[in-house]
Amino acid sequence: MKIGLLTDAPKHNLALMKLSAYHKKCGDEIIFNMPLWRCDYTYASVLFEKNKNLFKADEYGGPAFNGEPTLNCMVEDQKPDYDLYGLDYSLGYTYRSCHRGCSFCKVTLMERYDNKHYSIWSFYNPQFKKICLLNNNTFMDKRWRETFEEIWDAGLTVIDENGYDLRLLDEERADALKRTRFHGKIHFAWDRMQDESQIIRGLKILNHYKIKNTHIYILIGYDTTFEEDMYRCQKIIDYGHDPYIMPYNQSKDEKRFKRFIDTFMWRKYKTLNEAWENYNCS
């Protein structure tokens, strides 16, 4: 059989990688991202809602469809086919759930409830020296330390895509992050004003452990004012970290503020407010 796999995901798609591994074991031929190719059966996993009607397939899934349908257990248990994307790193989950239930986040919609811990050995490829965890909240896993110990034992470098919950940071977790090699930045977030005290405590712990290779995501345009967005950014800068703006509505004003932060021109000024005034005059 010819099996078609279609997606708009640019870097990787774990579901399609597992489907590819499964169908290759069945002796099927994989046709990847060739929508005009005639196949016996086609899967489409779509990341962005704007692309929901981009592909014609027999079965659909992915974040654009709230994660449904899920893979059956025979496919889910497959190690990913890393050749599909030509990756040089292992990819998978050691813990899927996040119990925060934030109203702006799709995790609870697109992820089935799965409170189990998984070992990296279930998807680790020993040919690679890097690993990318897709966990939605690693530190919520009661066995989070086992994940780090396995990474250390394998001598792996971590690619951090989803980040870590700054509200859960304590000295033990900070020490684990400090001991771990990361490829690029370590990601955290400050999405809600009501979390300020927990965020500030987490920032202090980061500084105590001299963890500086960070990006702190700032969600704007959802339920905060511009003044609150400036306040959060200024606090993060005051603690020696860089804010990274995530516009919720992608409005013109939100994009302008993101461009302002991304230029880093504000580093020449004493405060963000002063930099913003000069930026608007330019």
Q: Are residues 134 and 39 in the same domain?
A: no
Q: Are residues 95 and 71 in the same domain?
A: no
Q: Are residues 41 and 144 in the same domain?
A: no
Q: Are residues 102 and 229 in the same domain?
A: yes
**Domain closes at, from 57, 80, 103:** 80
Q: Backbone dihedral region of 165: left (phi > 0), alpha (psi from -120 to 50 degrees) or beta?
A: beta
For position 116, which CATH number holds?
A: 3.80.30
**Domain closes at, from 43, 63, 80:** 80
Q: Are residues 122 and 19 in the same domain?
A: no
Domain that holds residue 2: 1-80
Residue 79 to residue 20: CA distance in whole angstroms: 10
Q: Are residues 163 and 248 in the same domain?
A: yes
Tokens linked to 39: 């196949």
One pLDDT digit (tens) per residue for the chain, 282 residues: 999 999 999 899 999 999 999 999 999 999 999 988 999 999 999 988 889 889 999 999 888 886 555 678 889 889 999 999 999 999 999 998 766 665 656 655 555 667 789 999 999 999 999 999 999 899 999 999 999 999 999 999 999 988 999 999 999 999 999 999 999 999 999 999 999 999 999 999 999 999 999 999 999 999 999 999 999 999 999 999 999 999 999 999 999 999 999 999 999 999 999 999 999 876
**Number of domains composing the chain:** 2
Tokens linked to 108: 């609870």
Q: Are residues 96 and 189 in the same domain?
A: yes
Give ∠ CA 150-155-158 in degrees, rounded to 5.
80
pTM of the model: 0.89
Tokens linked to 89: 């790193």
Residue 28 to residue 226: CA distance in whole angstroms: 54
**Domain closes at, from 80, 100, 128:** 80
Chain centre distance of CA 150:
20
Q: Are residues 186 and 99 in the same domain?
A: yes
Q: Are residues 75 and 85 in the same domain?
A: no
Q: Are residues 134 and 19 in the same domain?
A: no
Q: Are residues 144 and 245 in the same domain?
A: yes
Q: Are residues 142 and 56 in the same domain?
A: no
